[in-house]
Structure 1
């Protein structure tokens, strides 16, 4: 058995881990980065999440604009899957070269703790033991698949990760789960040409969102032909000769949905199962995440956790900010924490995308603010008419006393870009009046802020 020692051991090649590895190695410290799969260099985002899914989203929109019959759409889908594979392979190679180019050592294998300073790594050549002064856990999250009768036996069931490896476009797709991942896939595959049904057990559609915005998104998805069923329980999955049936219990009785493919998109859980955290004395939350404080330290002083494994917001840019928080402790003032990173924006890549930062109208009212609500129909924006995408709405929640922005909800083309300006406005107290009187280029979607806030 090989035994090696490093100043720093990072478990997981995600955004925070790879960035920290490069930073520490460039400082002259010894760094080992353990990754269980060569297909995951760069982390979840690059390989099975953000980048490949957005590559498909882009290709799907182009395909929808071209139109044509199902056979033509299926051919474009195959080309999109091929392009997605090319892109992720290229990014994996670049990420590996970038990390190893700093002097950090990448070890391929499955890691589990032996004690608080020692990790055993099972590699293709056997077991390797690594001791380290500091250890950073960055193992991300994995899809959660509930115990649905027939799901494990079905050859048509996929998670969000395996769905993107399908070479053939499914004519009929059933998505189990009405969360953001499920809705994104519904939008992609409808644009590619699939007939899509989304089934969720909750009665309220995207309940985290502003109620008015949720209603508009649901209306737009229905207008596109995406069949959304809320308050429906999945009874079982049955494989047949030509596909599968998803049997559900809806409010009006039992229904059967035919499918060529079934996507189970019921969330993701922290990837901690193989780590043997108990051996290191690292505490976990009730949901299995690594328990951390606002500095991302575990209860063991020399062990940190970063990214999705902490059970927080599952965004790659949050993982990057986690790196900044840890870096600030190792080589800074330790002022940066999870509590002071400000408003967190996010986008759901529908067509058009839905983006949000800050409070909903109901949240602002519950918090005691004197609320002023501003709305603008997307049809009134010239650039939206240029795009031939007039559906949607812009909504902003403003503190009537101070004119500061409490929340922004944009359901429109390019909202994923516009929302970043709104984060800056919220974090730095830029008023609604200032945004309404600013000078923006024309024709752009951002110039709609003149009308929304003016």
Structure 2
């Protein structure tokens, strides 16, 4: 116990490891290191559980599942299905909360049961090996920053009037008119949910391209589906300002001299997220930053303080995806426990957008293949007429597959349609293990039929050896 300058008592506690953040990445690091016998403490300024469990993947999939069901039923009208179907928003949110509400208590009880010391409060560095949390000073051999991410500041008048994507999950009622700021996956996923629930929805994208990390041809197909779902997607509409207008909002956007005003009952921030590093006082810990966040090496270790590692969304160099956060955690655990020098590799990361229908991607786009100078062959096509899609009334289904011209190995896969979030994992395995198009044909694997995975043979057949 030490006496600090303001005469209050500071309790010093020593650990092998202190983890800042209780999401999937921080939790995994804490549990694995504790299992290895280390003395571990974990800190969070909010409810235990992190983004994925409380305000990300878990509640999102509940909402998206309801929207998918409504979309499916409406798409099958006239094909043997009759009767109106709708979303009861308060009831849906109550169902969603049966997943999220138990998480904080369950998480903390799990930590304590494992012998991990839990702290609540804002963590800040107080030295290269010290983290202050309220009246406690935690001294550790290793410190892992797993503090997650939050919506980035936009720097426009009235941005405080926006609703965060976090708060969207707990809305007591869904407004009639919603404007989503930004054309990324958060806006598109929520827009499809809101449209299925009956809201008039607009997406404002600052540039001429939405979902920029995905293949543009696949995105164009999704845009058609979005328009049919009643979603108004406005390109080249950077946000200018938001103002109150009676009980609603006036959202102004557009290029200078060409601004438009959109009336809304709610404006939702979906314009990107950044690592949540404010308040950590990184300088006090000797932790250098660059324009993206904490500067880390290939081992996910601070370049300036080797005792500090960064994982999950707090690591701005990695894709902000839950499976990547878990992979980051395993890399850091191996490097802390074994000193193996395990390197982070984000070259094969499948991703999906849970719209109606969903889209999914892995590997290189044509744009990236050209940048790298890789000779490739692309095969694209429509799958809406396939039995698997036509039987459920899905009109928007297709693919684009990229293959190395010389080795015939799969370079990239880009899909739209039912269950593509599952099918894309097959292509991820193929890319990771260097499989060729011939390895995915019916001659090589008798895929289960009927299934969306079976449709792979139609995607690769034109590229396979005759």
Kindly report the root-mean-square deviation, in angstroms, between the aligned alpha carbons of the 2 structures. 2.0
| Aligned mates of 2:150, 2:216 — CA distance in 1 | 29
| Aligned mates of 2:176, 2:133 — CA distance in 1 | 43
Equivalent in the alignment of 2:464: none
Equivalent in the alignment of 1:48: 55
Equivalent in the alignment of 2:409: 404
Cα distance, 1:151 vs structure 2: 2.9
**Equivalent residue in structure 1 for 2:451, among 429, 444, 452:** 444
Equivalent in the alignment of 2:152: 144
Equivalent in the alignment of 2:80: none
**Equivalent residue in structure 2 for 1:237, among 230, 234, 242:** 242
Over 3 Å counting, the alpha-carbon distance change for 1:434 and 1:72 in structure 2 is closer
**Residues 92-141 of structure 1: CA distance to partner in whole angstroms, max 9, x if unpaired?**
3333233222111111111111111111102xxxx111111111111011
Secondary structure of the residue aligned to 1:158 is coil
The 8 Å contact of residues 35 and 110 in structure 1, kept in 2 or not, is answered as yes
| Aligned mates of 2:281, 2:187 — CA distance in 1 | 31
Unaligned stretches of 5+ in structure 1? Answer: none
**Residues 371-414 of structure 1: CA distance to partner in whole angstroms, max 9, x if unpaired?**
22122312132221232213121110011221100000011111
Equivalent in the alignment of 2:384: 379
What are the equivalent positions in structure 2 for 1:42-441 lying under 5 Å apart?
42-65=49-72, 73=86, 76-122=88-134, 127-152=135-160, 154=161, 157-249=162-254, 253-287=258-292, 289-298=293-302, 299-311=304-316, 312-332=318-338, 334-339=340-345, 342-437=347-442, 438-441=445-448
The 8 Å contact of residues 202 and 230 in structure 1, kept in 2 or not, is answered as yes
Over 3 Å counting, the alpha-carbon distance change for 1:215 and 1:435 in structure 2 is same
| Aligned mates of 1:64, 1:428 — CA distance in 2 | 36
Cα distance, 1:243 vs structure 2: 1.4
The 8 Å contact of residues 222 and 396 in structure 2, kept in 1 or not, is answered as no
Secondary structure of the residue aligned to 2:18 is strand
The 8 Å contact of residues 222 and 357 in structure 2, kept in 1 or not, is answered as no
| Aligned mates of 1:114, 1:198 — CA distance in 2 | 43
Unaligned stretches of 5+ in structure 2? Answer: 1-9, 78-83, 462-466
> Normalising by structure 1, what TM-score?
0.92
Over 3 Å counting, the alpha-carbon distance change for 1:171 and 1:65 in structure 2 is farther
Over 3 Å counting, the alpha-carbon distance change for 1:439 and 1:324 in structure 2 is same
Cα distance, 1:366 vs structure 2: 3.4
Secondary structure of the residue aligned to 2:102 is helix
Cα distance, 1:159 vs structure 2: 1.2
Over 3 Å counting, the alpha-carbon distance change for 1:115 and 1:252 in structure 2 is closer
Give aligned pairs, total.
440
The 8 Å contact of residues 71 and 356 in structure 2, kept in 1 or not, is answered as no
Cα distance, 1:187 vs structure 2: 1.3
Over 3 Å counting, the alpha-carbon distance change for 1:429 and 1:66 in structure 2 is closer
Secondary structure of the residue aligned to 1:338 is coil
The 8 Å contact of residues 64 and 193 in structure 1, kept in 2 or not, is answered as no
The 8 Å contact of residues 394 and 410 in structure 1, kept in 2 or not, is answered as yes
The 8 Å contact of residues 225 and 357 in structure 2, kept in 1 or not, is answered as no
> Which 10-residue stretch deviates more, 252-261 or 158-167?
252-261
The 8 Å contact of residues 234 and 247 in structure 1, kept in 2 or not, is answered as yes
| Aligned mates of 1:147, 1:342 — CA distance in 2 | 33
Secondary structure of the residue aligned to 1:439 is coil
> Normalising by structure 2, what TM-score?
0.90
Over 3 Å counting, the alpha-carbon distance change for 1:138 and 1:394 in structure 2 is same
The 8 Å contact of residues 145 and 264 in structure 1, kept in 2 or not, is answered as no
Matched, 1:31 2:11: no
| Aligned mates of 2:37, 2:337 — CA distance in 1 | 13
The 8 Å contact of residues 358 and 407 in structure 1, kept in 2 or not, is answered as yes
